[in-house]
Amino acid sequence: MNREALDAGDIVALSEKTLSAISDEILRPVYDRSSLTPGIVHIGLGNFHRAHQAWYLHRLMQLDDSKDWAIIGAGVRPNDATQRSKLLEQDCLTTLIQLDPNGKTAEIVGSMIGYVPIETNNAQLIKQLAEPYIRIASLTVTEGGYYIDQSTNKFDSAHEDIIHDAQNPSEPRTAFGAMIEALKIRRANGAKPFTCMSCDNLQGNGDILRQTIVSLAQLSDPDLAQWITSNCAFPNSMVDCIVPATGEKELALVKTYNIDDAVPVTHENFRQWVLEDKFTGGRPDWARVGVTITDNVHDYEAMKLRILNGGHQIIANAGEVISINQIDQCMDNSFIKSFFRKVASTEIAPTVTPVPGMTPEAYVELIDRRFSNAEIIDTVRRVAFDGSSRHPAFLLPTILDVLKSEKSFEGLALAEAIWARMCQGEREDGSTIEANDPHWDSLKQLAQQSKDNPSVWLQPNLYGELANHAKFSERFSYWLNKVWKDGTESAIQAYLDV
């Protein structure tokens, strides 16, 4: 297709062959993609990865760097097959659309060059990971995907997937089982291990990944577990970019650039990646394109997870209960915006340590602006999904720290009460909240019971040591009773008046 045809309004189906027909206003690979060779297998190839890690690598390739680090995508869920088919159809290219309030821009990312077939026994994934040229196995499998028992924060060896993988290590169900089997093959072949790199929103995500990998390996092959412990690297990292889900609006938006992309990605005008320099077989020079390489990931991730991710739960749960659909619309609601500001500034920020160039107070201001970006059509439903993993990861550690300091935690207790109210399954206008958690049925049952007896909600598998904390239980019960009696906005106003 020639440029004249494109300018006349024809839509170009995204592929390697059509890149030259796309408008010069759209950034696209300047490197020869046929010269790329793989160095990374990424498991869990959703929107976030393509807007974040894949983009950083793409930007290095634009500088004629790291061309031997291209990404092979992978997945372990049956529905990943659909994503794989769509991406392969367009040569694994992705259109990223940056949703800047001052004007949208588009860029085509080409750092991914293949996608492993989806199989129940993960044989092809294991084979790909076992190749010596693969030096990093990275993951975005969600906060709840690491088989952690929330009541103990330890590895959940009783989960049926883990039992299966321990008994059938050569035909695993999980990404972790596939990684272990590939490492076993590499050890037998005398190849170096790959670096295991989590890109999920978990504090100490590398440490958590190590716990999952080593614990699972220990169940079937203690010697291999020891070899992994001694030879593999598990860098901690902090990742940050608000990336909405792709729906009809996004599919229509990409066509305004005269591009037909079956899996486009929209994202905010902000990215951050903070990474430990702990790799067994080298890594791309990500610092060249803005990644912060540091031994102090903890302070960065605590600031982000507690204020941004915790803040997301605070506003999304309240928005769901009072029938607000989008995050920016939550920030337009005076009750919710003020609720977020007060909790983040007075209860969360004091538990966070400043990092170079950013104080906790300034970070609250930054997050306020990012949440308020009306160009980001980020749904309350997406943000509120899987609260049974996100509350323990993003809010409960802060509550524990505040309780130890004997400072006020009223807003955090109210936030937990609003989550319990949300899980009852009905908004205040009487409409139904559809299932939005892997454990929705049990959460809904607990939420209904807690309407009359709030302490029922505080289960050890959700709240750990907080479940039996008398002071927290008392304030949580107070706020949940008030939410049910007076409504969410009235309860928030009562908190703001304190």
Mean pLDDT, the chain, whole residue set? 96
Comparing C-alpha atoms, which of 15, 29, 116 is closest to residue 71? 116
Coil/strand/helix, residue 90: coil
Nearest one of 141, 128, 139, 117 to 39, comparing CA atoms: 128
Q: pLDDT digits over 133-189, tens only?
A: 999 999 999 888 999 987 788 999 999 999 999 999 999 999 999 999 999 999 999
Contact between 319 and 380 (Cβ < 8 Å): yes
Confidence of residue 498 (pLDDT cuts 50, 70, 90): confident
Which residue, 427, 454, 134, is CA-closest to 281?
A: 134
Residue by residue, DSSP assigns 344-356 as: IIIIIGGGS--BT
Contact 308, 337 (CB under 8 A): no
Sheet containing strand 272-275, edge to edge, reads 237-240, 272-275, 292-293
Under 8 Å between Cβ of 239 and 199: yes
pLDDT of 6 > 60? The answer is: no
Q: What are the extents of the domains in the chain? A: 3-293, 298-428+435-497
**Burial class for 290, CB neighbours closer than 10 Å (0-12, 13-18, 19+):** exposed
How confident is the model at residue 9, as a pLDDT?
64
CATH class, range 3-293: alpha beta
Closest C-alpha among 396, 399, 420 to residue 484: 420
Strand, coil or helix: 232 = coil
pLDDT exceeds cutoff 90 at 8:
no
How far is it, in rounded angstroms, from Cα 186 to Cα 213? 15
Tell me: the pLDDT tens digits for 377-421?
899 999 999 999 999 999 999 999 999 998 999 999 999 999 999
pLDDT single digits (tens) 305-315 = 999 999 999 99
Average pLDDT over residues 9-21: 92
> pLDDT at position 51, please?
98
- Distance (Å, whole) CA 42 – CA 49: 8
- Chain-centre distance of CA 216, in angstroms? 23
- DSSP 8-state symbol, 180: H
Place of tokens 């906790």: 360
138 touches 53 (CB < 8 A):
yes
pLDDT at res. 7: 52
Buried b (16+ CB within 10 A) or exposed e, 292-318: bebeebbbbbbbbbbbbbbbbbbbbbb
The CATH classification number of 298-428+435-497 equals 1.10.1040.10
The neighbour count for residue 34, using CB atoms within 10 Å, is 7
The pLDDT-based confidence of 198 (bands split at 50, 70, 90) is very high
Length of the chain: 498
The answer, yes or no, to whether residue 441 has pLDDT greater than 70, is yes
Q: What is the pLDDT of residues 281-313, one digit of tens each?
A: 999 999 999 999 999 999 999 999 999 999 999
Q: List C-alpha distances in Å: 55 to 47, 93, 273, 286.
A: 11, 11, 11, 11
**Whole-prediction pTM value?**
0.90
